[in-house]
Amino acid sequence: MKKLILYSALTLSLTGTTFAQPSGGPGGPPGEDPCKTERQTYCKDSRHGHESDRCLREYMSKLSETCKNHINEMMSRFEKFRSACAADEEKYCKNVERGHAYMKCMRENESKLSAACKAALPSPPPGGGPRM
């Protein structure tokens, strides 16, 4: 179970769609993937998404500090979110698959969420609303 949660967190964090840093953070300008170089170097033949994220994990020891820091920060944000929103998730999005549909469900129920969960809910990706 813990592996599934960590895998989901890593997938969300590396794709940058859910917990992306609006200011660009340590990876550069807004919307830029801090692991772009590593994806191109080690995972150029992997499809974007789960496959690419899985590939990056295999090369974790070779990733730049910027990419490692980004992954660690996104994992930390995701864990805080999961902890703050566990009860709300059970109420409103229990049977929703992880990923975009899950975040869409949480945002659709935002007015009903606890204060702690609202505070931990990541901002929607640039361009308005969840990507499908």
Confirm whether 30 is domain-assigned.
Answer: no
pLDDT score at 126: 63
pLDDT score at 26: 44
The domain of 58 spans 35-120
pLDDT score at 74: 79
pLDDT score at 113: 96
Question: What is the rounded distance in angstroms from the CA atom of residue 110 to the CA atom of residue 87?
Answer: 13
Confirm whether 29 is domain-assigned.
Answer: no
Confirm whether 27 is domain-assigned.
Answer: no
pLDDT score at 87: 95
Question: What is the rounded distance in angstroms from the CA atom of residue 108 to the CA atom of residue 130?
Answer: 11
| Cα separations in angstroms, 30 against 5, 25, 56, 105, 127 | 27, 8, 21, 25, 12
Confirm whether 17 is domain-assigned.
Answer: no
CA 54, distance to chain mean position in Å, is 14
pLDDT score at 21: 43
Confirm whether 106 is domain-assigned.
Answer: yes
User: Token pair 């990419």 is at which residue?
Assistant: 67
Confirm whether 10 is domain-assigned.
Answer: no
pLDDT score at 10: 45
pLDDT score at 91: 95
Confirm whether 105 is domain-assigned.
Answer: yes
Confirm whether 112 is domain-assigned.
Answer: yes
Give the pLDDT of the chain (132 residues) as one tens digit per residue.
Answer: 444 444 444 444 444 444 444 334 444 555 688 999 998 999 999 887 768 777 887 898 999 999 888 878 877 888 899 999 999 999 999 999 877 888 899 999 999 999 999 999 887 766 554 433
> 82, 17 in Cβ contact below 8 A?
no
Task: Give the total number of structural domains in the chain.
Answer: 1
